[in-house]
Structure 1
Amino acid sequence: MTQELIIDGIRDETDTIREFTLRAADDGALPAHGAGAHLKFDLGAIGTRSYSLIDWPGDAPGTLRIAVQREDGGQGGSRHMHSLQPGDRLRAETPDNDFPLGAHDGPALLLAGGIGITPLISMASALDAAGRPFALHYCARSRGVMGFADALASAFGDRVGFHFDDETPLDLATLFAGLDPATHLYVCGPKGMIEAARAAANAAGLPDAQIHFELFTTPQPQDGDTAFEVEIASTGQVFTVPPGRTIIEVLEDGGLDLIYDCQRGDCGICQTEVLEGTPDHRDVVLSDAEKAEGKLMQICVSRAKSAKLVLDL
């Protein structure tokens, strides 16, 4: 289901982060959403882009808030968003949530990298409103590129810690030392941060069932990528996946109806069994053991190390 939204206001949070306030174009009620939810926007020829919804304590109903970090070397979605003006209209699917805040009893540890702070603002607000214990640690390359720092300090006080790569980088081993075993960890940021946090949390005794994450970058082609073949086991069809295109894109062009969502390699919805061949894993869903076994893959981002993959589709 889609909805038409109108940009009610725009505010520059940093030189590259722009905040948008949105309302229903017909001034009607907006669908409810939980912490961690996102909107998927239809940007026409550019394609679709998803941005997390931001909820602050005390926000009035009737509006939605997102933030977009401009990526000048990206594929154009963020630059398009930054070109918009108040009064412009956008079409978006109703809110969806691949990164929900659980109803567990234990404390929550929120860990954000860069613009990955946006869904964690909503989580902190929800935890604060419910009186549930939490701590938020927010990492950025430097103070000048960190958005929302003042608002976070004002809203949540000493429950927020700020870390800067050029000053006081976060020590994950120290962060997880003595962690309450009932803690649930929520991580949003770049792939390297998620992988490091997951490894450190596991080393501290936190099981994967208590680690939740969302990747906040769009996977990019890598140097050395080559074409490979994908065979569909149920039909015998064979498709060639060239560099710069994903398995999902090629199979959909070939008429296959696939189930997927994030297209970043973090939600697990497109997970597919590998019957033959060796995947080149580029997701953050599978454990190291699962990747080494090579029996599963996320077809939205992962490629092949072998010349051909046979998939259970």
Structure 2
Amino acid sequence: MLAPTLKLRVASVSAPTSLIKSLTLEAEDDALLPGYEPGAHIQVEIPAADGGVAQWRSYSLINTDPQVDTRAGVRAYRLGVRRKDEGRGGSRFMHTLQAGATLTVRAPVNHFPLAAPPSVILIAGGIGITPMAAMAAELSRQNRDYSLHFSGRTRDALPFVEELRAVAGKRLVLHADDDNATRLSIDALLDGAEVNQPIYVCGPSGMIDAVLAAARQRGWHECDLHYELFSEVAPQDGDRTFEIELKSSGKVLTVPADKSVLDTLLDNGVDVMYDCRAGYCGLCSTPVASGDIEHRDTYLSDTDKAGGKVMQVCVSRCKSERLVLDL
């Protein structure tokens, strides 16, 4: 079920780095906004371009004030958006916004909840710091033990550092790829941690994959590994064109090698619910009437995948020539 929509205005815009904009959103009538838990995000409607259809982009909610319990409702939502010129236009649109602009957003949802163990490792890469800032503020509010490792290509590329230092103090550890003295070493970090100490990681897929692989190699249980991908899944080598048929109408659409089933459906006016675009939230689960699915998600169980009756259209593809979707 989709979250309800809200009409919000951009109250302020700042630029903590050359590539990142920070936006504060408020209700048009100054009403209290729905509360949220650390790790939550909102979806922002991105206007249609070139005659296409409007789409939605997800942005994590930032909080750096340990005195604020965001569950009780807030006066404003704060976002951090990194500009991606090679993307599909969402970040470029967000970077054009100025104070006074209005947006349609969906109320907060959370696919990346913070559990309640005694000691936590937070690892963020680049703009992946946005949900981690809220987690650090909540852990500080509860006087719980944690460390926050924040990595970027350069020290200047790391946003919100002074705010994070005010929240986390010595628990904040900064890493820069161009500095041998501070470059993030996942092996060193995990070698100094307790096995199965909960890990929360958000950032580029390469960093997430490396953290998960290193933790699994050291014996971490899957239940103690939590992650949120801060970019959409890229096409893979060997991806090829295939067809999808809509069972209700018999309409056949071609899915190019470099495009997802989800984007093909949206480009052709098919109304599909979606959120993460990375195969872990489950919102785009779509029944499949026939065809051989190449599952690439982390949401479905092995049993569901083997059954071949449902797929995550944001990431999964087709092993055969055609999939018939029950749409």
Q: TM-score range by the shorter chain?
A: 0.7 to 0.9
* Per-residue deviation, residues 147-171 of structure 1 (Å, max 9, x unmatched): 1122212321111111111113222
CA contact (8 A) 1:191 1:284 kept: no
* Per-residue deviation, residues 12-54 of structure 1 (Å, max 9, x unmatched): 1011111111111111111111111111111221521111110
User: Secondary structure at the residue paired with 1:125?
Assistant: helix
* Structure 2 residue 21 is matched with structure 1 residue 18: yes
Assess, with a 3 A threshold, how the Cα gap between structure 1 residues 235 and 2 changes in structure 2: closer, same or farther.
closer
Q: Which residue of structure 2 aligns with residue 200 of structure 1?
A: 214
Q: How far is 1:123 from its partner? A: 0.4
Assess, with a 3 A threshold, how the Cα gap between structure 1 residues 236 and 174 changes in structure 2: closer, same or farther.
farther
Distance in 2, Cα, partners of 1:114 & 1:95: 22
User: Secondary structure at the residue paired with 2:226?
Assistant: strand
2:133 to 121, 134, 145: 121
Amino acid at match of 1:64: Y
Q: How far is 1:270 from its partner? A: 3.9
Amino acid at match of 2:21: R
Tell me how large the CA RMSD over aligned residues is.
3.2
Distance in 1, Cα, partners of 2:186 & 2:157: 21
Distance in 2, Cα, partners of 1:256 & 1:18: 32
Amino acid at match of 1:113: G
Distance in 2, Cα, partners of 1:177 & 1:74: 36
Q: Which residue of structure 2 aligns with residue 88 of structure 1?
A: 101
Amino acid at match of 2:312: Q
User: Secondary structure at the residue paired with 2:133?
Assistant: helix
Amino acid at match of 2:7: E
* Structure 2 residue 56 is matched with structure 1 residue 48: yes
Q: Which moved more, 1:79-88 or 1:217-226?
A: 217-226
Q: How far is 1:301 from its partner? A: 1.6
CA contact (8 A) 2:150 2:173 kept: yes
CA contact (8 A) 1:37 1:99 kept: yes
Gap regions ≥5 residues in structure 1: none
Q: TM-score, normalized by length of structure 2?
A: 0.81
Within-5 A mapping of 1:102-251: 102=115, 104-167=116-179, 168-221=182-235, 225-230=239-244, 239-251=253-265
Q: How far is 1:192 from its partner? A: 1.3
Assess, with a 3 A threshold, how the Cα gap between structure 1 residues 280 and 105 changes in structure 2: closer, same or farther.
closer
* Per-residue deviation, residues 173-192 of structure 1 (Å, max 9, x unmatched): 22112533452211111111
Q: Which residue of structure 2 aligns with residue 101 of structure 1?
A: 114
Runs of 4+ in 1 over 6 A off after TM superposition: 231-238, 252-257, 272-275, 292-296, 310-313
CA contact (8 A) 1:195 1:284 kept: no
User: Secondary structure at the residue paired with 1:117?
Assistant: helix
CA contact (8 A) 1:229 1:241 kept: yes
Q: How far is 1:110 from its partner? A: 0.8
Amino acid at match of 1:3: L
CA contact (8 A) 1:54 1:66 kept: yes
Q: Which residue of structure 2 aligns with residue 267 of structure 1?
A: 281
Q: Which residue of structure 2 aligns with residue 277 of structure 1?
A: 292
Q: TM-score, normalized by length of structure 1?
A: 0.85
Assess, with a 3 A threshold, how the Cα gap between structure 1 residues 235 and 7 changes in structure 2: closer, same or farther.
closer
2:75 to 51, 56, 62: 62
Amino acid at match of 1:54: I
User: Secondary structure at the residue paired with 1:45?
Assistant: coil
Amino acid at match of 2:292: G
Distance in 2, Cα, partners of 1:195 & 1:81: 28
User: Secondary structure at the residue paired with 2:48?
Assistant: helix
Q: Which moved more, 1:150-159 or 1:92-101?
A: 150-159
Distance in 2, Cα, partners of 1:40 & 1:191: 21
CA contact (8 A) 1:18 1:82 kept: yes
Amino acid at match of 1:208: E
Distance in 2, Cα, partners of 1:285 & 1:195: 16
CA contact (8 A) 2:291 2:320 kept: no
Within-5 A mapping of 1:279-294: 279=294, 281=296, 283=297
CA contact (8 A) 2:197 2:224 kept: yes
User: Secondary structure at the residue paired with 1:198?
Assistant: helix
Distance in 2, Cα, partners of 1:12 & 1:86: 13
Amino acid at match of 2:175: H
